[in-house]
Amino acid sequence: MENIEREEKKLKSSKKSLLAKDQELYQEMEENDLKISKEKDEEQDEHFPPSEDILKDEVDHEKALEHIKSKCKFKQEYVDNNIVLSVNHLKQYFSFGSGISKYKLKAVHDISFQIKEGECFGLVGESGCGKTTTGRSIIRLYNITSGSIYYKGYRIGAGSRWNEKEIKYTKIRYKAKVKELAEKLKNNEISKEEHDKELAEAKTYADNIIKVQKAKIKQIKYDDSHVDPNLMREIQMIFQDPIDSLDPRMTVETIISEGLQIQGFHNKVENHKKVVEALERVGLIEDYANRYPHEFSGGQRQRIGIARALVMNPKFLICDEPISALDVSIRAQIINLLNDLKDEMGLSLLFIAHDLSVVKYFCDRIAVMYFGEIVELASSDELFKHPLHPYTKSLLSAIPKPNPLTEKERVRIVYNPREVHDYSKEKPRLVEILPGHFILANNPEIEKYKKEIEELDLKLEADNK
């Protein structure tokens, strides 16, 4: 740890001219990756070098957590602020093809949000915007590309893409410097001593960056292979499709108890008890345990999916569109059930949906996602009071109104980013426009949105009079 700090200090004091040159090269090489520089500050203190020790198998849970805390990345400030889950600059890319036809799909591109203990956080967006991918990354079904995820202060996932790129670009920059110095020497612009001195400085600078980044990558890998399984058990996910997510060849009992078996609970009698308890919790009966998924209705299957998550006694539940495959009457039942469970078990929830009407009353805070990015994030009331982003407005305009007279007048707003945003001069960033209300915008847009807030407030005042 001390060594790395020393190395980092040395790095900072290295030549300023080199830094300026670096910046130019960065811009030339990949414009998009400049966005990553946002992560730079955060990632700088992200990782410290791992010690050689490994966790002993035979330590109890508390001791294991203490042990992990001392070896892996842990952020006390999340615990102090009651933040149960923190997603920081999460990126999840998928690669396809090979050779020249290889391309990358940016399913999730730089999203950050935090969920407090007992909170219900809604993630809303159109199909394919990366909601499920976010949920799956949290439960570690994917190795995340970049960014980090913290649960109860422990880092449960991190990606090393940024660090790998830093190493790659450092090598490129070093090679460019060597070439530049050789050129200067050839043209007699510098003496041999100056050349050697500058070359040695550049080498030390590059070596130090590479050393630090390699240590950080090592730490990410170390953390990744030492995530506490008991901690991960607290996070459960209700999967999107109630039909496909249940294996048709397994009985309900096997489906629900599978997680327990994987976690090392092999006592059949105990497991059966837990299965029955979970079934009863979701309003099903013991007899259903021996039946197969195809023998149930859609709503019942969704309940089985919920029971499968509940049997693990979760503290954090990710509900991936748990009601979108269901008809309206069953939707209300499932929402009520989740609401009851939330109070009963003190759960924190990440509720994924594709329309705002579902999350309006159920969630405390809502994040609106579009094409892998969060475009607006606010408390539920605030979002409905001041919907600012054109995509949020578009989602709101899609909600049918209960009154047939006003429903007739409802105008559907179509969101076309190319028409409404001009990001050619200035790129957007997530800004806190009102306390707790974040929006993806650039400076001219921020001014526009501020005016809109004033107008909305005036309108509200006039309506209330």
Ligand X SMILES: Nc1ncnc2c1ncn2[C@@H]1O[C@H](COP(=O)(O)OP(=O)(O)OP(=O)(O)O)[C@@H](O)[C@H]1O
Binding site for Mg ion (CB under 5 A): 132, 240
Q: Which amino acid is at 48?
A: F
Q: Which of 128, 298, 346, 436 binds ligand X (CB under 6 A)?
A: 128
CA quadruple 430, 434, 436, 437: dihedral, nearest 10: -50
Please report how close the Cβ of residue 132 comes to Mg ion at its closest, in angstroms: 3
**How far from 56 is each of 29, 64, 104, 134, 233, CA to CA, in Å?**
45, 8, 39, 32, 20
> What are the φ and ψ backbone dihedral angles of 378, each rounded to 5 degrees?
-160, 170
Nearer to ligand X, 68 or 306 (CB): 306
Location of structure tokens 């309940």: 303
Assess 104 for contact with ligand X (CB under 6 A): no
Nearer to Mg ion, 148 or 240 (CB): 240
Task: Say if strands 365-370 and 348-353 run parallel, antiparallel, or are unpaired.
Answer: unpaired
Within residues 330-389, the interface with ligand X by CB under 6 A covers: 354
What's the rounded Cα separation, in Å, for the pair 124 and 129? 9
Measured at CB, which residue is nearest to Mg ion? 132
What's the rounded Cα separation, in Å, for the pair 50 and 437? 38
Closest CA to 146 of 170, 164, 172: 164
The DSSP symbol for 50 reads P
Please report how close the Cβ of residue 420 comes to ligand X at its closest, in angstroms: 21
Q: Which of 76, 98, 127, 406 binds ligand X (CB under 6 A)?
A: 127
Assess 322 for contact with ligand X (CB under 6 A): no
Assess 107 for contact with ligand X (CB under 6 A): yes
Q: How far out from the chain centre does Cα 41 lie? A: 18
DSSP per residue, 289-322: GGS-GGGS-HHHHHHHHHHHHHTT--SEEEEEST
Nearer to ligand X, 127 or 188 (CB): 127
Assess 130 for contact with ligand X (CB under 6 A): yes
Q: Which of 120, 129, 144, 158 binds ligand X (CB under 6 A)?
A: 129
Please report how close the Cβ of residue 375 comes to Mg ion at its closest, in angstroms: 17
Assess 91 for contact with ligand X (CB under 6 A): no
Nearer to Mg ion, 138 or 278 (CB): 138
Q: Which amino acid is at 390?
A: P
Within residues 182-241, the interface with ligand X by CB under 6 A covers: 240
With CB under 5 to 8 Å by kind, the binding choice for 128 among ligand X, Mg ion, none is: ligand X
Q: Which of 133, 160, 380, 394 binds ligand X (CB under 6 A)?
A: 133
Q: Which residues bind ligand X (CB under 6 A)?
A: 94, 105, 107, 125, 127-133, 240, 354
